A and B are shown apart, each in its own frame.
Chain A
Amino acid sequence: MSATHPVSLSVNGEQISRLVEPRETLADFLRRDLQLTGTHTGCEMGVCGACLVLMDGRPVHACLTFAVQASGAVVETVEGLSESAEIADLQRTFHERNALQCGFCTPGMLVSAHGLLTRPGVPSREEIRDALSGNYCRCTGYEAIVDAIETVARRRSAGERAARFLEEPA
C-alpha cells in the first residue's frame, strides 16, 4: 500500500532523485535522506516554523509538505542560503544583536526574514513582526530578532550587499 515513489527535485541547486515513501515529509526527507539537518523539526504540524524552507522561491513549512508532493519543485534550505551568501548579512547581524540563544528556531527565522527582505520596500517593525508570526522562539522574546532584521533591511536599502559580510572575520 505504501510503495515507494520516485521523486526528482532541485535542492540547493543540485538535482536530486530518490525513492521515498509517500508519508515521508519534506522535512524528514531533507534531514534523513539528504543529511541537510539545518531544517529543524519542532512541532511537525505547521505551528513553530523551525522547518521553513524555500519552495519555488517562497517560504513554506517542510513539515506540511510530503516529499512526493515536492517532486518537480525547486527547494532551497538554510544550508543553500548560507552557502550562496544570500543571507550572510542576516547571519552576521543575528550574531551581533544576540538574536539567537539556543538557536533551534534560527534556521526558520532566517528563511522567514529572507522571504520578507526579498520583497520590495523596507519593512516596518510591525511588518517584520507580522512576517515572523509563524515562527516561535522560546529564548529571545523576539525583540532582538526584530532588531536584527530591521538593521539588515535598512542596510540593504542603503545599498549594502549581503555577501560583504563574508569578506570580514566575524
Chain B
Amino acid sequence: MKARAFSYVRPVTIAEAIDAFAAAGGEASYIAGGQSLVPALALRLQAPECLIDIAHVEALRGIERQGGRLRLGALTRHVDAHDDPLIARYAPLLHLAAPHVAHPAIRNRGTLGGSVALADPASEFPAMMLAMGAEMEIAGPEGTRRVPADAFFQGVYETAIEPGELLVAFHIPVAGPHHRCAFDELARRRGDYALVGCGVMLAMPGDVVEDARIAFLSVGPTPVRARAAEVALLGSRLDEAAIRTAQTALAEDLDPTDEAHVPATMRLHLARVLLGRLLGGLGAAT
C-alpha cells in the first residue's frame, strides 16, 4: 500500500521543528530515518497530515565525550552505534547490541533517537539505554529537560516524550576499564525478534561487584530493569552461587504474560538461562 497524502517540511533547527508541529495543529509526525514510521504510513496504521523531517537539524547530531558522559545526538544511526570507536569504548552495550537490530540496510538509515522514542518493548536500544542509565534530553516549546531512562519508558510504545516534544540527545555515563558489559538475546531463528534479550553492566574495580545494572527486552510492556538480580550480585565475586541467586531473583523482577507459543514460565526460564550465560562469561573474563 501507499501512504496517505501529507505535507512535508524540513526544518534545520530544533525551534523550527517544534514550531512546525504546533503549526500543524499537532497532526504531525517527526521523521528521521523513518524505518519504523514509513512502513506504518504505508500500511496506514498512521496518517499524519504533516511530516516534519528532522534529519537536517544539526543540533540532533554528534557523538562526543563530555566529561563523564557520552553525548549521542538522536540522529546517530544504528550502523554508527556499531562502528563508531567512541561508542564502542564508552557505551559498549550499544556496540554489542547493534548487530541484533533489524538488518544491515535498516541499520544504515535507522536512528537511535527513532528507536528509543518509539520504545518498542522488543527493541534492543531502549533496553540498553536503561541498562546504561542514560539520560534522555527532550526539547519542547518550554525549553529542554532531561529524563533518566528509569522514568522514560512508561508503557507499550509510551515514553516521557509529550506530543510535539523532540528527543534531542542521549547522555550516557561512560564505561571505564573497571566496567564489564555483555549483551545477548535468544531467538528462534537468527535475526528474528528476540524471545528475550539482556544487557548487563557491572562495575568491578577489583574482584567484587560494586555496582550492577541489568535490563531485559521482550519480557513486558517496556524494557525492564532486573533490580532484585542486581542486588543479588552486589558484593559478590560473580561466583556460581551468586549467579544462581541472581537467576532465582529474576522471578521478582520479571512478570511476563502468557503468549501464544511462549508461556510466561518459558520466558522466565529463558531469561534465567540468558542471564546465567552472560554473567558466567563476565565472571570467566577475570
Enumerate chain A interface residues (CB-CB to B < 8 A): 1-3, 5, 21-23, 25, 28, 44-46, 49, 52, 55, 58-61, 63-66, 68-69, 71, 112, 115-116, 130-131, 133-134
Decide if A59 touches B5 in the complex (CB within 8 Å): no
Decide if A22 touches B5 in the complex (CB within 8 Å): yes
Decide if A23 touches B3 in the complex (CB within 8 Å): yes
Interface centre among A23, A28, A116 (most CB of B within 10 A): A23
A2 to B191, CA, bound (A): 37
A49 to B106, CA, bound (A): 10
Interface centre among B1, B79, B108 (most CB of A within 10 A): B108
Counting CB contacts under 8 A, is B102 at the interface?
yes
Decide if A60 touches B42 in the complex (CB within 8 Å): no
Q: How far is the CB of A154 from chain B (nearest CB, A)?
A: 21
Q: Apart from A1-B49, A112-B105, A134-B104, list 6 A-B contacts with CB within 8 A.
A: A1-B5, A28-B2, A58-B108, A59-B104, A63-B42, A66-B8
Secondary structure at the A interface, as helix, strand, loop or mixed, is: mixed
Counting CB contacts under 8 A, is B35 at the interface?
yes
Q: Which residues of B contact A66 (CB under 8 A)?
A: 3, 8, 34, 38, 51
Which 4 pairs from chain A and chain B are nearest by CB?
Answer: A134-B103, A2-B5, A22-B8, A45-B39
Counting CB contacts under 8 A, is B109 at the interface?
yes
A69 to B108, CA, bound (A): 15
Q: How far is the CB of A46 from chain B (nearest CB, A)?
A: 6
Decide if A64 touches B6 in the complex (CB within 8 Å): no
Decide if B104 touches A1 in the complex (CB within 8 Å): no
Q: Which residues of A contact B49 (CB under 8 A)?
A: 1
Enumerate chain B interface residues (CB-CB to A < 8 A): 1-8, 10, 31, 34-35, 38-39, 42-43, 49, 51, 53, 55, 79, 99, 102-106, 108-109, 190-191
Chain B residue at minimum C-beta to C-beta distance from A21: B5
Q: How far is the CB of B191 from chain A (nearest CB, A)?
A: 5
Q: How far is the CB of A144 from chain B (nearest CB, A)?
A: 20
Given contacts A1-B49, A69-B34, A133-B191, are A60 and B2 in contact (CB under 8 A)?
no
Decide if B109 touches A60 in the complex (CB within 8 Å): yes
Decide if B34 touches A49 in the complex (CB within 8 Å): no
List 15 A-B residue pairs with CB atoms under 8 Å apart, sorted by A's residue number. Answer: A2-B6, A23-B2, A44-B1, A44-B2, A45-B42, A58-B108, A59-B104, A61-B109, A64-B39, A66-B38, A69-B55, A112-B104, A133-B103, A133-B104, A134-B105
Pick the contact of B5: A23, A69, A131, A134 (CB < 8 A): A23
Decide if B106 touches A5 in the complex (CB within 8 Å): no
Chain A residue at minimum C-beta to C-beta distance from B39: A45
A58 to B190, CA, bound (A): 23
Decide if B43 touches A45 in the complex (CB within 8 Å): yes
Decide if B51 touches A134 in the complex (CB within 8 Å): no
Chain A residue at minimum C-beta to C-beta distance from B53: A69
Pick the contact of A60: B39, B108, B191 (CB < 8 A): B108
A69 to B109, CA, bound (A): 12
Q: Which residues of A contact B102 (CB under 8 A)?
A: 134
Given contacts A22-B51, A64-B35, A65-B34, are A1 and B6 in contact (CB under 8 A)?
yes
A23 to B103, CA, bound (A): 24
Interface centre among B8, B10, B51 (most CB of A within 10 A): B8
Pick the contact of A64: B10, B34, B53 (CB < 8 A): B34
Q: How far is the CB of B173 from chain A (nearest CB, A)?
A: 30
Decide if B35 touches A46 in the complex (CB within 8 Å): yes
Q: How far is the CB of A109 from chain B (nearest CB, A)?
A: 12
Chain A residue at minimum C-beta to C-beta distance from B5: A2
Given contacts A69-B34, A69-B53, A69-B55, are A60 and B6 in contact (CB under 8 A)?
no
Q: How far is the CB of B12 from chain A (nearest CB, A)?
A: 12
A49 to B2, CA, bound (A): 17
Pick the contact of A2: B7, B34, B104, B190 (CB < 8 A): B7
